Chains A and B, each alone.
Chain A
Amino acid sequence: MGLEEKVAFIKGNEAVVEAALRAGVNGFFGYPITPASEISEGMAKAFWENLEAIKKGGKPRYPDYQIFLQMESEIASINAVFGGAATGKRVMTASSGPGMSLKQEAISFMAGAEVPAVIVNVMRGGPGLGNISGEQSDYFQTVKGGGHGDYKVLTLAPNSVQEMADLTSLLFNLTDKYRSPGILLADGYLGQMKEGIIFPETKTEFTDKSSWCLNGAKNREKHVVNSLFINQDELEAHKIRLKTKFDLMEKNEIRFEEYKTRNAEIIIASYGVVSRIAKDVVDTARKEGMKVGLIRPISLWPFPQEKIRKLAKKTKAFLTLELSFGQMVEDVKLAVNGQCPVHFYGRYGGNLPTEEEIIKQIKKIYKKK
């Protein structure tokens, strides 16, 4: 695919690759895992094509893109990302389920040492090896920490191939801006399905990293990228600084989509692939005279808590839909804070709820009222 191309019909995983390359990614360190492998494969292909072009004396298509490496493990890949990103370059990786579990230690280090990087989780079924279909059961792992210690990870959840690309671009800018790792939380469905997309026009905003990045202490003080503060007061001061940054993200980086919530009696809360079904449900239900709306968090952390709190004042009930036992529903409940009932409906194992199933749930809620 050439940079001149503006539209394409591609898989979600391929959209991530193209968006990352256009956002000026410098390095990718990966490890194969279904259903995320196309991201590694696409990054590899672009790397070898770049190298081929250079060998022939031509210009590489993506001049910023320096290295693709398939590492020996998920752990090695995220630590290569940690090292690589500490040099100030744009670095990323992609994984799923078991791979994401293995990466958590280094993500905690990166949050503590303030190193930005983009990590893509194409969620599969869990727990354990689960399966390779799409689920949403890594919500807790992603937005509640995942690794050890207090930290937050900027989490963006696309619901289309278009957004797989758009939010990848955005996440590079945001992680750089806040000097903190970010996760694109997709799922097997979004990774694997093909849709037409228009390539994002998100401007690549390069942040000045010269005050902290590792490039050799020439004519300046040494830089230390570090999450260790053995002195209690020093660690506390460092954590206060981190918290100030996380608070700022909570203030500035909340994103969501609202659909027909204005006079809604029941508001569906859902994200990712399920929110697309939910949107159709809103229209179908309204044709049947039921006033239903949709709130779709796009940033899962920071979570649109204030928005949901306000919606809860006017609506009669929430219905949270997820491909899990119910994880985001806890955040919805916290936001609603008892103002109205919060119902939940979930499917697992990689199964999606049908419109009919959801309508049935809505009718049940209407009967209860």
Chain B
Amino acid sequence: MSKVLYSPKVETYTAPTSYCPGCGHGQLHKIIGDAIDELKIREKIIFVDSVGCSVFAYKYFDCDHIQVPHGRAPAAATGIKRLMPENVVLTYQGDGDLAAIGTAEIIHAANRGENISVFFVNNAIYGMTGGQMAPTTLIGQKTTTSHTGRDEQVVGYPIKVCELLNTLEAPIYLERVAMFDALHIRQTKEAIKKSFRIQLKNKGFSLVEILSNCPTNWKMTPEQSMDYVKNEMTQEFKLGTIRDKEFCQK
């Protein structure tokens, strides 16, 4: 029989979630919860929930939450952080929320250098509404509104959010990570902790883009979907640090 030698006390992430089997949200929730616990900042967190599959995030984290209109999380987070600078404010947004309906809000929050942490979950699809084409859907990728595959001649190309924000002066830290294997999960957690540390040091705006999967709407098994992230998505969305303006211990 095996014996549990050590188990970290989980404070923030209160599973189980109601996400689909194999969905990246559950995994990312745990990573963020662990990062919050390790930095001991649960009591300071104000979590801004956006619209999409993660709209129920307030059920899964034992910290203060506000659920805001579609795409507006960076604006709401601005209002919160400017009035409560001692709190740690994060937004958790999907690709439809952040890169389509909320494009203006993310660009301007980044441009003002808002001292917030933005976690941008890119799974290349509108999951909650049943799998429609997103601004980050890959060329040729089939969705319910691009059923023969995304045609760039008609609907344009996938938007690369980190690269777009990298044209601005203010952002401190922009990183793209993925969660398809243990190494990348560890890197994701490090990036999230780094984003929090930047905020705790009042350095300014940071965004971590997490490439994630959607087995249900991609019509794949969880394993196939992980391979898709690894082999297809990372071709379009290159992993790595896009901006690191301030040396900050990982």
Contacts and interface: CB of A to CB of B under 8 A. Distances in A.
Interface of A: 26-27, 29, 66-67, 69, 71-73, 75-77, 79-87, 89, 91, 105-106, 109, 113, 214-219, 222-228, 230
Interface string B77-108: 11110111001000000000000000011011
B62 to A, nearest CB: 6
Given A84-B80, A216-B43, A216-B46, A109 B68 contact: yes
11 contacts: A75-B75, A76-B105, A77-B75, A83-B75, A83-B76, A86-B76, A105-B69, A214-B64, A215-B87, A216-B46, A228-B56
B168 to A, nearest CB: 13
Given A87-B83, A218-B43, A226-B58, A75 B65 contact: no
Contacts of B84: 87, 89, 214-215
A12 B82 CA distance: 28
A91 B67 contact: no
Interface of B: 42-46, 48-49, 55-56, 58, 61-69, 72, 75-80, 82-84, 87, 104-105, 107-108, 112
A71 B55 CA distance: 25
A214 B58 CA distance: 13
A27 B64 CA distance: 21
B43 A67 contact: no
B63 A217 contact: yes
Contacts of B79: 27, 29, 79-87, 91
A106 B77 CA distance: 14
A217 B42 contact: yes
Given A76-B104, A86-B80, A224-B65, 19 more contacts: A29-B78, A67-B82, A69-B82, A71-B108, A75-B72, A75-B75, A75-B104, A76-B108, A80-B79, A80-B82, A83-B68, A87-B83, A109-B68, A214-B46, A215-B84, A222-B61, A222-B65, A223-B64, A226-B58
A197 B183 CA distance: 68
